[in-house]
């Protein structure tokens, strides 16, 4: 008799974005003449940079030649991509990394969920609230989250990020072993200054806390005082694992590639208090459970760092950030409160007249044919808010704001 992992039964039967998709599908069936503008799920619309396409075409040709064919690659990633990452993403910002500290993956979502494999099930978890749902759900699956009362999990410490505290998290009210930070933030679109992030690194150093830092949206940062990597903060290598993604940066949502940095000086602990390098554990985990990202994909990712690729990526980012500006200015003209959108492709709108997140979602869908993402789906502090993304096409972004202004 095969016994199941009963922690999976604790999960909601539906994923947030699946619920949204069902609602939108129903609306389209009942309103076939209406054109729906989706500003909800954060998928990109701009095509891959030409430099990436050319590199991938070349790699495909190599795979068809006996002399240049490649089979299994290194689980950690090819050195050509790792070296490019270190040179361009870290050395350029004064951060020194060893090649053995960078692990190429098939997207940040995978590793943010899988990192729990090397951590005990009874670690206490702290999360900023609202938060990307994968952080919570992956801990539920491993038995680390406890039980749910319908809005919160018993073994998770929620750190509210609200309008009242300017979306800057305060230190948790009780001890945590693992802390998730995502900046620039999904879903609120807000960010932390270098000084604010330094306080969290110092907190982690003083309390033996492991920070899981999701920097998937660092390429969208415009403000020079906003750090792109937690390792720009002195001491962070002793307390933090960093996750990066090419999905939004270079349109790799359908290609799948990112990377995780696990510094060699970062330690976890046994029950007896013995220090164990997490880099070694993660490497062992990857060698067992991951067969590496494809050679073709990694060549495409490498091209992001070429002079041509860098220009093309910046053009895409500028396109999305212009969308963000259009959205933010339009929403403000409508008299609604909106946050984010300055250093991230996400905007966090406060629902008018005390509406709940789902009620605001329904009104936008059924009265304006615009799709957002209900804030409560990201955690209890998200209630009363709605997330919009800047990843749509320009004409849709402009039309969405015209509809919203007319509606309000």
- pTM score of the predicted model: 0.97
C-alpha to C-alpha distance for 191 and 198, rounded to whole angstroms: 13
pLDDT tens string, the chain, 408 residues long: the values are: 999 999 999 998 777 888 899 999 999 999 999 999 999 878 999 999 999 999 999 999 999 999 999 999 999 999 999 999 999 999 999 999 999 999 999 999 999 999 999 999 999 999 999 999 999 999 999 999 999 998 899 999 999 999 999 999 999 999 999 999 999 999 999 999 999 999 999 999 999 999 999 999 999 999 999 999 999 999 999 999 999 999 999 999 999 999 999 999 999 999 999 999 999 999 999 999 999 999 999 999 999 999 999 999 999 999 999 999 999 999 999 999 999 999 999 999 999 999 999 999 999 999 999 999 999 999 999 999 999 999 999 999 999 999 999 998
C-alpha to C-alpha distance for 309 and 83, rounded to whole angstroms: 16
Domain with CATH 3.90.1150.10 in the chain: 14-47+314-407
**Which of 112, 102, 111 minimizes the C-alpha distance to 136?**
112
Tell me the CATH number of domain 54-307, given options 3.10.129.10, 2.130.10.10, 3.40.50.10470, 3.40.640.10.
3.40.640.10
Q: Are 346 and 340 in contact (CB under 8 A)?
A: yes
Q: Residue 241 pairs with which residues in a beta bridge? A: 212
Strands 210-214 vs 178-182: parallel, antiparallel or unpaired? parallel
The two tokens of residue 333 are 């003209």
- Reply yes or no on domain 14-47+314-407 having CATH 3.90.1150.10: yes
C-alpha to C-alpha distance for 316 and 253, rounded to whole angstroms: 14
**Ordered alpha helix ranges (H), 12-49:** 16-30
CB atoms within 10 A of CB 352: 14
Q: Give 64's contacts (C-beta < 8 A, 6+ positions apart).
A: none
**Which of 108, 98, 78 minimizes the C-alpha distance to 299?**
78
Is residue 57 helix, strand or coil?
A: helix
What are residue 357's phi and psi, to 5 degrees? -60, -50
Domain with CATH 3.40.640.10 in the chain: 54-307
**Which of 218, 220, 216, 204 minimizes the C-alpha distance to 172?**
204
C-alpha to C-alpha distance for 178 and 195, rounded to whole angstroms: 21
- In the chain, the N- to C-terminal Cα span, in Å, equals 59
């Amino acid at each position: 008799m095969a016994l199941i992992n009963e922690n999976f039964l604790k999960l909601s039967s539906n994923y947030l974005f699946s619920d949204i998709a069902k609602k939108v599908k129903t609306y389209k069936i009942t309103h076939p003449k209406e054109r729906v503008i989706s500003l909800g799920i954060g998928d990109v619309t701009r095509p891959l940079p030409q430099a990436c396409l050319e590199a991938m075409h070349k790699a495909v040709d190599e795979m068809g030649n006996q002399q240049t064919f490649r089979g299994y690659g290194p689980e950690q990633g090819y050195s050509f991509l790792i070296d490019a990452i270190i040179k361009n993403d870290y050395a350029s910002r004064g951060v020194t990394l060893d090649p053995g500290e960078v692990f190429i993956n098939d997207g940040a979502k995978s590793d943010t969920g899988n990192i729990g494999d090397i951590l005990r099930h009874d670690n206490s978890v702290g999360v900023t609230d609202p938060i990307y749902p994968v952080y919570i759900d992956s801990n539920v699956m491993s038995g680390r989250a406890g039980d749910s009362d319908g809005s919160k999990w018993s073994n998770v410490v929620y750190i509210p990020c609200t309008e009242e505290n300017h979306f800057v998290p305060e230190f948790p009210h009780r001890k945590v072993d693992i802390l998730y930070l995502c900046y620039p933030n999904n879903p609120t679109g807000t960010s932390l200054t270098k000084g604010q992030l330094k306080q969290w690194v110092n907190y982690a150093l003083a309390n033996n806390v492991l920070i899981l830092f999701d920097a998937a949206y660092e390429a969208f940062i415009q403000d020079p005082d906003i750090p792109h990597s937690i390792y720009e903060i002195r001491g962070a290598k002793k307390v933090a694992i960093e996750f990066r993604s090419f999905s939004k940066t270079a349109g790799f949502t359908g290609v799948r590639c990112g990377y995780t940095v696990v510094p060699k000086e970062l330690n976890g602990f046994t029950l007896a208090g013995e220090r164990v390098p997490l880099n070694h554990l993660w490497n062992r985990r990857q060698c067992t459970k991951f067969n590496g990202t494809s050679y073709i994909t990694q060549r495409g990712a490498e091209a992001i760092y070429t002079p041509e690729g860098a220009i093309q990526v910046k053009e895409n980012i500028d396109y999305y950030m212009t969308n963000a500006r259009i959205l933010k200015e339009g929403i403000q003209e409508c008299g609604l409160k909106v946050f984010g959108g300055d250093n991230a492709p996400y905007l966090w709108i406060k629902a008018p007249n005390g509406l709940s997140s789902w009620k605001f979602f329904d009104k936008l869908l059924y009265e304006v044919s615009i799709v957002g993402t209900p804030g409560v789906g990201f955690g209890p502090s998200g209630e009363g808010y709605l997330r919009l993304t800047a990843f749509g096409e320009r004409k849709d972004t402009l039309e969405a704001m015209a509809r919203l202004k007319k509606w309000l």
